[in-house]
Amino acid sequence: MGKQVLPLQYADVLGKLMLAESVIKALVEKEIPTQGLLDGMGWCKDNALAVTRAKVKEIEDGLADYFSDVT
């Protein structure tokens, strides 16, 4: 197996989504060079960032539900 950049647990969905959000944000803000491959797709990058942020918030808001003692 290759070395992981960040040691995330297999089921760490929130951590993985937050990592994805930070990568997309870096692409949108041009902190990661794309050699012009994404220059014509600003709307796509912006939409991807918005959807990823919404999913992170959705999971953060509902995470406690998975640990409640409701029977």
Q: What is the pLDDT of residue 71?
A: 58
The reported pTM is 0.69
| 8 Å CB contact between 58 and 18 | no
Question: Other C-beta atoms within 10 Å of 64: how many?
Answer: 8
- Binned at pLDDT 50, 70 and 90, residue 61 comes out as very high
pLDDT in tens, 30-45: 888 888 777 777 788 8
Rounded Cα gap, residues 5 and 14, in angstroms: 16
Confidence of residue 9 (pLDDT cuts 50, 70, 90): low
